[in-house]
Amino acid sequence: MKLLEDVPSAVAHRPPPRRTKLTLGVAAAFLLVAAVVGVMLVASSGGSGDSATDGEPRPSGTIADWAAGVTDACTTVAAEQPIMAQGPEVRLDVANLAAVETGTRALVAAVHDVPLPADEAERAQANAAVAVGDQAAQAWTTLTDSSAEATPEQVAQAAELTAGFVAGMTQLGANCAPIG
């Protein structure tokens, strides 16, 4: 005869079987994927530790180096965009809005491609000139994108911004004589 002690009154719980190999396999796969993604991110950023904004070149050199680069940019844009070499009075003609807008944007883009000076004070001076160029490009874009006809005052203001941009670069040592 069996005693009650020998008969289980409830199902005995066994611990679940350990899946050590499965757990280690999943963890290894996760680490491998994370390592590959990390290497790809570092490779795509060029390995740089600092974040370069807008793809602009890193600051290097002096204001004279920047001015030499801007001189090259002015010469190139004057050759590629003839309207920019014809002088400031041509920019006042409403019929030339699209061409002047294209030329101004090309000049601003070319100047943005020139590395800024490494010295903070010189970089601030160069950035001030570049900011006027950004304003000039925006003014011309606003005039060409507008459905209303541009007024002579608006065209004159955009032309003044462009002239101020060129003058600012010239004051910092660039030779923008090809840009009228």
For residue 54, what pLDDT is reported? 52
Counting Cα atoms < 13 Å in the Cβ hemisphere of 27 gives 6
For residue 51, what pLDDT is reported? 43
The residues of the chain scoring below 50 in pLDDT are 47-53
Kindly report the pTM of this predicted structure. Answer: 0.66
Name the nearest CA neighbour of 76 among 36, 52, 106. 106
For residue 73, what pLDDT is reported? 93
